[in-house]
Amino acid sequence: MKKMDRCQNLTSFLDWAQHKLLQAEVASPRLDAEVLMAESLNISRTELMTYPDRVLSRIEAENFCSRIERRVLREPVSHITGVQEFWSLEFSVNEKVLTPRPETEILVEQCLKALARKSSPVRILDLGTGSGILAIVLAKEIPQSQIMAIDKSTLEVARKNALRHAVADQVCFVSADLMQADWQGPYHLIVSNPPYIESENLFKCMPEVRQYEPVQALDGGRDGLDYYRFIVPSAWEKLEDDGLLALEIGHTQAAAVVALMESGSGYQDIQVVQDYSGYDRVVLARKRILNG
């Protein structure tokens, strides 16, 4: 990609980048250009707005253009900058973990609401922790919690994030396949954002997801429900009586996941919660106390 050689100011670089990203069918070209510019100059986006006429040095211009080239190829902004905001905190990410999505904040909100009145130590299990966001945010928000977080990835990014947010002593990371690991327990809360995309629909995901995100964090099997079929009955075994199971779901999966929870009659107070776009996003249930 060739950027004009003459001395250019910040606004003209942004306009040029916006145009390139628009041509590449990037969903939010101006925003992405601004985020990548701020990162190239090591300043905030607000500062960017304050100096529209600032002239870029050659190095700054090269940094910016190389970032835009990567974005044109639809590499996610989070992979280019190495960070993603979630719950107003900054998390490290890379191509080995799913970049946190804003709708997953609904899952956090629901867990916090359900645990609000609990004062004694809270034991939590996070299945498929990825970048660690669920375990880390819950650890920060519930200082009296102890969390086990399982993921089959190396957990390098998650451990780094836990240190960064000063909760490493509250979270025990276990690198294992959640379908084979010893979950230990019992827990007051089991939470998970498992892979839930139908295998045959993976190719329909946006290029950012399809080409750059780890398929093992997305592929939920033929009907997308493989992990729910495993987690729902297994979690019942590992929950305290009245303990909460909280799962993120794909927006078409609520009925199927609710049916799994109802099938063994091991759960009660089953609830589906929508995200801010109005899509079903979270299913919650409490462990029913059998013969209790």
1 membership: H or E segment, kind and range: none
Cβ proximity to ligand GLN, 170 vs 193, nearer residue: 193
Convert residues 2-41 into a mask of x (bound to ligand GLN by CB under 6 A) and - (unbound).
----------------------------------------
- DSSP symbol at 88: T
Min. distance of Cβ 262 from ligand GLN in angstroms? 22
Residues 214-253 that bind ligand GLN (CB under 6 A): 218
Token output for 192:
């998970």
List strand residue ranges (DSSP E) for 62-205, in order.
83-86, 89-92, 122-127, 145-151, 171-175, 187-192
Convert residues 182-201 into a mask of x (bound to ligand GLN by CB under 6 A) and - (unbound).
-----------xxxxx----
CA 285 to mean position of chain CA atoms: 22
Task: Give the 3-state secondary structure of 107-131.
Answer: HHHHHHHHHCCCCCCEEEEEECCCC
Min. distance of Cβ 155 from ligand GLN in angstroms? 17
Q: Does 209 bind ligand GLN (CB under 6 A)?
A: yes
What's the CA angle centered on 23, arms 19 and 24, to 5 degrees?
120
Cβ proximity to ligand GLN, 224 vs 243, nearer residue: 224
Under 8 Å between Cβ of 246 and 269: no
Cβ proximity to ligand GLN, 34 vs 208, nearer residue: 208
Please provide the size of the chain in residues.
Answer: 292
Min. distance of Cβ 9 from ligand GLN in angstroms? 37
Min. distance of Cβ 216 from ligand GLN in angstroms? 10
Binding-site size for ligand GLN (CB under 6 A) equals: 8
The torsion of the CA quartet 207, 213, 217, 218, rounded to 10 degrees, works out to 0
Cβ proximity to ligand GLN, 40 vs 104, nearer residue: 104
Cβ proximity to ligand GLN, 130 vs 266, nearer residue: 130
Residues 54-73 that bind ligand GLN (CB under 6 A): none
Q: Which of 70, 96, 101, 152 binds ligand GLN (CB under 6 A)?
A: 101
Residue 248: name the closest of 265, 266, 224, 221 by CA.
Answer: 224
Min. distance of Cβ 98 from ligand GLN in angstroms? 6
Cβ proximity to ligand GLN, 220 vs 243, nearer residue: 220
Cβ proximity to ligand GLN, 194 vs 266, nearer residue: 194
CA atoms within 13 A on the CB side of 16: 17
Under 8 Å between Cβ of 157 and 97: yes
- The residue nearest ligand GLN at its CB is 196
Chain residues in the site for ligand GLN (CB under 6 A): 101, 193-197, 209, 218
